C-alpha cells in the first residue's frame, strides 16, 4: 500500500516565503504594500506638518466665499459677487467649450488632410505632408502664441472699419479685428422655444425614419430614399414654423460704436488663438490616424466588395469605412482627450479656463493652493477617466469576434 504524504503543507518553513513560487508572490506583494503605505504616510505626515507650521487647515469652505474677480467670458451668469465655486464652474465650462469646438474643427481638418495625403494629386499630397509634419514637430505652445500674435498684430483695428478706413466687414456681418472676431448673434424672441422644440422633434423623426428604413430594407430588400427625406425633415418643419411664428429668432449684427464694436457675438483673441492652434495641431495628428486607418484596410476587401457587385459608394460605406473606423476611433478619442488636456495651455493667452479660475486666481486670492490644485487635478482626471471609460465600452463592442 502506498501512502501519499503531503509534506509541503505540514512542514512550512519561513524560507519558503522566498523560494516557493506559491508564497513568493504573496511575499512580494506584502513587501510592496508596506513600502507603498510607508511612502504614502510619509508624504501625508509631511503635509500635516507643513500645514500646521503655516497655520492652515485643509477644507473646501473657500468655495462658498465671494470670488471678487471678473471673468471676461462666461457661458452662465456670473459676476464678481458670485462664489468661488461658481467661478470654477464658469472656468470648467470655458474649458469644455474650447475643447468641444477644438474637437469638431480638428476632426474636420484631420479627416480632410488625412484623405488628401493619400490623394493621387502630387501637389496637394505634398502640401498636406508639410502641414502634418510642420504641426506635429513644433510645440503647441509656440503655435498658440504665434496665432495669438497674428490676431493681435496682423488684424485691423476696430477704428479702421469706420468710413474711409481700409478694413471692411465680411458680408457686412463679420468683423475680424485685432480685439477678436465679431459675429452676428441670434436673439431668441418669444416663441423661439416652440421653434427649438420643433427642431428637436424633427431630429427625432429623422432618427425614427432611418431606423424604420433600415428595418424595412432588412425585411423586404426595398431601399427608401433616406438622404432626401432626412434633409427635408431637417429643414422644412423648422423653416415652416419660423414663418408661422412670425420670425421669433433674429440676428443681432455687430456695429461700430465709437472706438469698438458693440452688439453681436464677440469671440476674444484668446479663444480664437487657442481654438485654432489646438485644432490645427491635433488635426495634424488626426490626419495621420485617418491615413493609417484607411491604409490598414487591405485592398482585397474593396476588391471583394466590387466582385459582389457593390458600387463604389456602397463599398465605402458598407465595407471599408466600418473596418477603418475600428482602427481609427480609439486613437481618435485619445486625441480628443489630449486636446482637452492641452486646452490648459490657455494660460499662455489668458483664456479663462478651469486652470485660470480655479487653479489660478482663486488660489491666489484664498491661498488654498493644496485644495485648489487638488480640485483642478480631480476635474481633469474625472473627465479623462469618463472619456476613456466610454472608449473602453466602445472598444469592447466593436472588437473582432474571433473563435
Partner 1 sequence: MSDTHAHTVAYVRDTMLPPEVPPAAERGVIRWMRANLFSSWFNVLLTILGLAVLWSLLAGILPWFWNSVWVADSLSECREIRDALHGTGEEVSSACMAVITERWNQLLFGFYPQDLYWRPVAALIVFLAALGPVLFASVPRRLVWFTAAAPFLMYWLLWGGSIGGPLAVALGFAAAWGAFVLGSRFSGALAATIGAIVVPLLYWLLLTGPVAGLIGAVIPIELQFVPSKDFGGFMLSFIIGVAGIILSLPLGILLALGRQSNLFIINKCSIAFIEVFRGVPLIVWLLTASLLLNYFLPPGSNFDLMLRVIILVTLFAAAYLAEVVRGGLAALPRGQYEAADALGLDYWKAQRLIIMPQALKISIPGIVNTFIGLFKDTTLVVFIGLLDPIGMSNAIRADTSWQGINWELFVFIGLLFFICCFSMSRYSQHLERRLRTDHS
Binder of partner 1 out of 122, 218, 243, 299 (CB under 8 A): 122
Q: Nine-digit cell at 384?
A: 479623462
Query: Could you please report the per-residue DSSP string of 153-196?
Result: HHSPPGGGGSTT-S---BTTTBEEETTEEEE-EEEE-TTHHHHH
Mapping DSSP to helix (H, G, I), strand (E, B) and coil, where does residue 61 land?
helix
* Residue 155 per-residue DSSP state: S
Binding residues among 241-280 for partner 1 as defined by CB under 8 A? none
Residue with cell 478651469: 354
Please identify, among the stretches 75-83, 268-276, 311-319, 362-370, the one whose residues bind partner 1 according to the rule CB under 8 A.
Answer: 362-370
Binder of partner 1 out of 200, 308, 325, 385 (CB under 8 A): 385
- Which residues are CB-contacts of 169 (< 8 A; sequence separation ≥ 6)? 161, 175, 254
CA distance 266 to 260: 11
* Min CB(170)–partner 1 separation in Å: 17
Helix (H) or strand (E) holding 389: helix 369-398
- Give the strand pairing for 180-183 and 185-188: unpaired
Binding residues among 56-95 for partner 1 as defined by CB under 8 A? none
Binder of partner 1 out of 196, 384, 394, 395 (CB under 8 A): 384
Binder of partner 1 out of 11, 137, 220, 397 (CB under 8 A): 137
Binder of partner 1 out of 136, 162, 214, 216 (CB under 8 A): 136
Interface with partner 1 includes 119 (CB under 8 A)? yes
CA distance 131 to 143: 13
Tell me how far CA of residue 124 lies from CA of 75, 106, 116, 292, in angstroms.
Answer: 40, 19, 7, 18
CB-wise, 254 or 359, nearer to partner 1?
359
* Min CB(51)–partner 1 separation in Å: 7
Tell me how far CA of residue 56 lies from CA of 43, 52, 239, 311, in angstroms.
Answer: 17, 6, 60, 71
Binding residues among 302-341 for partner 1 as defined by CB under 8 A? 341
Q: Cα angle at 340 between 324 and 332, to 5 degrees?
A: 5
Interface with partner 1 includes 344 (CB under 8 A)? yes
Tell me how far CA of residue 162 lies from CA of 127, 168, 253, 257, 263, in angstroms.
Answer: 38, 8, 16, 10, 16
Interface with partner 1 includes 153 (CB under 8 A)? yes
Please identify, among the stretches 62-70, 85-93, 197-205, 367-375, the one whose residues bind partner 1 according to the rule CB under 8 A.
Answer: 367-375
Interface with partner 1 includes 232 (CB under 8 A)? no
- Which residues are CB-contacts of 118 (< 8 A; sequence separation ≥ 6)? 125, 291, 294, 295
Binder of partner 1 out of 64, 134, 189, 322 (CB under 8 A): 134
182 CB-contact burial (10 Å; exposed 0-12 / middle 13-18 / buried 19+): buried
CB-wise, 127 or 245, nearer to partner 1?
127
Binding residues among 15-44 for partner 1 as defined by CB under 8 A? 18-19, 25, 28-29, 32-33, 36, 43
Please identify, among the stretches 1-9, 46-54, 156-164, 293-301, the one whose residues bind partner 1 according to the rule CB under 8 A.
Answer: 46-54
Binder of partner 1 out of 12, 38, 41, 51 (CB under 8 A): 51
Interface with partner 1 includes 151 (CB under 8 A)? no
CA max distance for the chain: 116
CB-wise, 83 or 384, nearer to partner 1?
384
CB-wise, 89 or 183, nearer to partner 1?
89
Q: Which is nearest to 144 in space by CA: 265, 338, 279?
A: 279
* Min CB(181)–partner 1 separation in Å: 20
Q: Nine-digit cell at 202?
A: 424633427
Interface with partner 1 includes 345 (CB under 8 A)? yes
Binder of partner 1 out of 61, 204, 377, 392 (CB under 8 A): 377
* Residue 253 per-residue DSSP state: P
Binder of partner 1 out of 138, 231, 251, 325 (CB under 8 A): 138
Number of residues that bind partner 1 (CB under 8 A): 55
Helix (H) or strand (E) holding 265: strand 265-267
Binder of partner 1 out of 38, 47, 118, 251 (CB under 8 A): 47
Contact present, 332 and 349 (Cβ < 8 Å): no
Residues that bind partner 1 (CB under 8 A): 18-19, 25, 28-29, 32-33, 36, 43, 46-47, 49-51, 53, 116, 119-124, 127, 133-134, 136-142, 145-146, 149, 153, 341-342, 344-345, 347-348, 355, 359, 363, 369-370, 373, 376-377, 380-381, 383-385
Amino acid at each position: 500500500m502506498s501512502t501519499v504524504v503531503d509534506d509541503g503543507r505540514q512542514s512550512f518553513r519561513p524560507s519558503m516565503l522566498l523560494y516557493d513560487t506559491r508564497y513568493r508572490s504573496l511575499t512580494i506583494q506584502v513587501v510592496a504594500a508596506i513600502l507603498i503605505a510607508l511612502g504614502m504616510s510619509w508624504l501625508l505626515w509631511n503635509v500635516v506638518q507643513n500645514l500646521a507650521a503655516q497655520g492652515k487647515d485643509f477644507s473646501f469652505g473657500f468655495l462658498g466665499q465671494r470670488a471678487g474677480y471678473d471673468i471676461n467670458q462666461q457661458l452662465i451668469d456670473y459676476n464678481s459677487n458670485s462664489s468661488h465655486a461658481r467661478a470654477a464652474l464658469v472656468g470648467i465650462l470655458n474649458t469644455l467649450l474650447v475643447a468641444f469646438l477644438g474637437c469638431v474643427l480638428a476632426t474636420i481638418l484631420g479627416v480632410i488632410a488625412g484623405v488628401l495625403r493619400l490623394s493621387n494629386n502630387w501637389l496637394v499630397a505634398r502640401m498636406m505632408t508639410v502641414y502634418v509634419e510642420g504641426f506635429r514637430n513644433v510645440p503647441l505652445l509656440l503655435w498658440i502664441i504665434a496665432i495669438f500674435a497674428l490676431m493681435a498684430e496682423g488684424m485691423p483695428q476696430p477704428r479702421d472699419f469706420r468710413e474711409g478706413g481700409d478694413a471692411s466687414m465680411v458680408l457686412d456681418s463679420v468683423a475680424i479685428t485685432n480685439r477678436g472676431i465679431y459675429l452676428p448673434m441670434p436673439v431668441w424672441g418669444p416663441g423661439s422655444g416652440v421653434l427649438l422644440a420643433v427642431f428637436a422633434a424633427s431630429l427625432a423623426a429623422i432618427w425614427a425614419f432611418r431606423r424604420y428604413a433600415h428595418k424595412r430594407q432588412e425585411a423586404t430588400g426595398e431601399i427608401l430614399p433616406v438622404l432626401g427625406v432626412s434633409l427635408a425633415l431637417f429643414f422644412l418643419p423648422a423653416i415652416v414654423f419660423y414663418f408661422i411664428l412670425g420670425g421669433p429668432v433674429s440676428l443681432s449684427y455687430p456695429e461700430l460704436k465709437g472706438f469698438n464694436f458693440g452688439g453681436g457675438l464677440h469671440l476674444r483673441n484668446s479663444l480664437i488663438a487657442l481654438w485654432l492652434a489646438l485644432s490645427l495641431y491635433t488635426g495634424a495628428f488626426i490626419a495621420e490616424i485617418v491615413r493609417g486607418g484607411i491604409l490598414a484596410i487591405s485592398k482585397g476587401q474593396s476588391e471583394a466588395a466590387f466582385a459582389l457587385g457593390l458600387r463604389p459608394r456602397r463599398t465605402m460605406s458598407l465595407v471599408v469605412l466600418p473596418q477603418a473606423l475600428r482602427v481609427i476611433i480609439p486613437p481618435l478619442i485619445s486625441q480628443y482627450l489630449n486636446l482637452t488636456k492641452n486646452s490648459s495651455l490657455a494660460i499662455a493667452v489668458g483664456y479663462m479656463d478651469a486652470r485660470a479660475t480655479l487653479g489660478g486666481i482663486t488660489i491666489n486670492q484664498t491661498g488654498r493652493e493644496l485644495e485648489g490644485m487638488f480640485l483642478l487635478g480631480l476635474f481633469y482626471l474625472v473627465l479623462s477617466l469618463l472619456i476613456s471609460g466610454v472608449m473602453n465600452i466602445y472598444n469592447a463592442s466593436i472588437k473582432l469576434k474571433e473563435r
